[in-house]
Structure 1
């Protein structure tokens, strides 16, 4: 979105957010006192002065958390979650401020200020903000490529990155991007690609910009043409046009690369792994220790019953120990309740469990279907071999096989393997697609957060224990 329109949209957003905050505040006041059967005129002494401070503070909080970004490409769900989180943070800050100054001389009125009203305001404000922003998106979608919502752009260089960019622009008409044409050395002038005209070679960029208006130049060179990048950027900046760069190595570097300042030198981590940061690793390990101890106590009756059933159902050891590959490619012994008849070690390490596998005992079939056989892994978590949440570990035989067949397979070993994971709660267990499983594992690794782990735990409870693909 061009700077002028973005500033206009941002200004409109700030004004509407201020109005929404005020309306939410007033309605919350009415609801709170109506529920107490004490509906009274708005208290001008105790409730009007904080309103202005609250509105300004929340608007600053929204700006701090980048809620006022481009409407073109922010996802609805992502924005709704962000709004909810920021409003909760705002409510917690208000509660903390009220607690600190409640006993301060001159602020005794804070004691009588309704905390419940703040909760109502948080709920209503979140709903109202999400609703009005979605209405605004709908308006932008209807405007499409109209003059008001039009952003003319020029593509320089044709590559896989260019194809991906064009595909997204054509799919999302509401963004309002208008591709004027393509400049490329390998396409014929006046040729058409996806309905977009080829205007000439890249060297004609300066001449084109002197005669035509483009709000942005989208550089999508092939990787082997990057020696021309400096020249193209120089021409764009000389013409005063905004320049954006879509790299042609998306299959190598993730969509969210992590960049650090290496004494003035930008150092790009090929893949951002939040759990490689010491603070995040400490939080996750603490959650694993506390969580595994609680689960061991909670599930001890189930584990005792399973142990008796396994021991009585067939001869052999109670606990099945199998070598798996974990963090930093190190192997460890993973524990499970034995669910199969005892077999030769050479068969066990290289044979996949399939539907109606004759090796599975009747008791084993039940505990595998309900994931009870996995409960001993709580002790693996306590030891530090595994985590409660993470990519499922695999046997060395299959790791050696998959790392040659599936790109980026070994990245999963940059974090501890888990008892359950994002792939498992999405139904990818047992004899299912390894490629799809790895895609979801990589998404988890690159987007880890405490809230993401909690989400997976809840999904595991409600739909992850019993699974049709667990044989």
Structure 2
């Protein structure tokens, strides 16, 4: 099963932030200040004067990179991707300023071109090297800053998850001291016993005698009287107190806490593309699709001619599938088979050596070039470049009853490529294959980010170039 997997180590849910700690401000400013330092160094190396436009560039870069939120205790491909995306934003901001000044003020761009080029390459490289080295350097620096002492009341799975986050350095500035729990060693089980430092009635005295800064309460709401009693005993301490509700009995999709008329509301299943995120994703879809058209349209014309010339039938194959919110859409593909099957009532999955697939169709499917007409679906708004792959109607109706959470895939627009496809989950309509594909799709919804979309696009390009062994 893939449901519990993390796509990125950076997407571990953070514990409550400790505000006012010096390390928090330092961490937020390191990346922006490093970018400024590289620019000033480039000015010195090239002997260029510091002009007004240089100040504008430095201000833009600082605003677009502050606060720095990349991790300093670990480094991963995800962190590198986020760094690259951040500098694409900076380059876009500088380009926009350059264009706007030229058009509106009829004034050229004054900074030294060598300085700007060196900075756009050198600053992200310097940040990359710093974050790459940070897992070795950061632990040496943390003792220089005050650390909040943390205890957790309750030793259930949620509490252990938070303790692991703190011990792994996911909550910088916090130091886990131990659990308080009334249960016996036998009931606690292996893994939660060694760090139990007392029983719940002892929390208040321990907090006061050991200068505890933060308390996480991981007790179920069914023990409300005990929670109330605990809170009463902590009223004469200065520790910050947070609840860790055990909402993980459900498979959360974009779980978060919001408010409704002043009341706390926990989202259990929500689209990651509400409001701003959805608009950004749509802009990226349109931008990348439009930029690809000068190359893609001639290629599509050649493929269409070859399809018509090598087998009887239309060049484009249309099939009804489920899109956003489970509504029917028409998906376009190049025809790769001798038969046209809408898939509304029955659908026969293509298998290895399937006689229905034409020789040209086999090549198109292996390279995923048969999916190119779906760029028109993206332009029309019924699909996205990245998202769960849409299935034929008959497949949806079959598996929505067999796989829990299957229809949650339709909380977002279907994609030309997806997290499941770039992880080898393409083809196969048996229950295990469909369940595994669904697990990857739900993991994508939980962990969505622009960096993840960029990673999937890059992996898809690699598959197009090298071919997909699971495509028949």
Structural mapping, 1:266-285, within 5 Å:
266-277=264-275, 279-280=279-280, 283=283
The corresponding residue for 2:462 is: 462
Alignment partners' CA distance in 2, 1:174 and 1:281: 29
Given the superposition, is the C-alpha separation of residues 114 and 303 from structure 1 closer, same or farther in structure 2, using an over 3 Å criterion? same
The corresponding residue for 1:28 is: 42
Alpha carbons 2:82, 2:451 under 8 Å: kept: no
SS in 1 for 2:416: strand
The corresponding residue for 1:438 is: 438
Please give the root-mean-square deviation of Cα atoms over the aligned residues, in Å: 4.7
Note the C-alpha offset of 1:368.
2.4
Given the superposition, is the C-alpha separation of residues 395 and 423 from structure 1 closer, same or farther in structure 2, using an over 3 Å criterion? same
Larger Rg: 1
For structure 1, the 5+ residue unaligned runs are 34-41
Given the superposition, is the C-alpha separation of residues 223 and 292 from structure 1 closer, same or farther in structure 2, using an over 3 Å criterion? farther
Alignment partners' CA distance in 2, 1:133 and 1:292: 33
The corresponding residue for 2:128 is: 130
SS in 2 for 1:154: strand
SS in 2 for 1:153: strand
2:178 to 160, 177, 181: 181
Q: Comparing both chains, which one has the higher relative contact order based on Cα–Cα distances under 8 Å and sequence gaps of 6 or more?
A: 2
Alpha carbons 2:300, 2:373 under 8 Å: kept: no
The reply to whether residue 157 of structure 1 matches residue 154 of structure 2 is yes
Note the C-alpha offset of 1:410.
1.2
Alpha carbons 1:318, 1:338 under 8 Å: kept: yes
Given the superposition, is the C-alpha separation of residues 237 and 70 from structure 1 closer, same or farther in structure 2, using an over 3 Å criterion? farther
Alpha carbons 2:318, 2:331 under 8 Å: kept: yes
Alignment partners' CA distance in 2, 1:363 and 1:97: 48
Alignment partners' CA distance in 2, 1:228 and 1:56: 52
Given the superposition, is the C-alpha separation of residues 412 and 213 from structure 1 closer, same or farther in structure 2, using an over 3 Å criterion? same
Note the C-alpha offset of 1:429.
1.0
Alignment partners' CA distance in 2, 1:378 and 1:224: 52
For structure 2, the 5+ residue unaligned runs are 1-15
The corresponding residue for 2:4 is: none
The corresponding residue for 1:305 is: 306
CA-to-partner distance for each residue in 1:131-173, whole Å, 9 max, x for gaps? 33443431234689x7978654212122221233344455559
2:397 to 395, 400, 415: 400
Given the superposition, is the C-alpha separation of residues 114 and 426 from structure 1 closer, same or farther in structure 2, using an over 3 Å criterion? same
CA-to-partner distance for each residue in 1:86-135, whole Å, 9 max, x for gaps? 55555655666677779999xx9x96531431231232222223333443
Given the superposition, is the C-alpha separation of residues 347 and 130 from structure 1 closer, same or farther in structure 2, using an over 3 Å criterion? closer
Aligned residues: 448
The corresponding residue for 2:213 is: 215
The corresponding residue for 1:366 is: 363
Given the superposition, is the C-alpha separation of residues 217 and 258 from structure 1 closer, same or farther in structure 2, using an over 3 Å criterion? closer
Alignment partners' CA distance in 1, 2:463 and 2:287: 22
Alignment partners' CA distance in 2, 1:134 and 1:240: 38
Alignment partners' CA distance in 1, 2:99 and 2:416: 41
Alignment partners' CA distance in 2, 1:377 and 1:87: 30
The corresponding residue for 1:47 is: 50
**Which has the larger displacement, 280-289 or 263-272?**
280-289
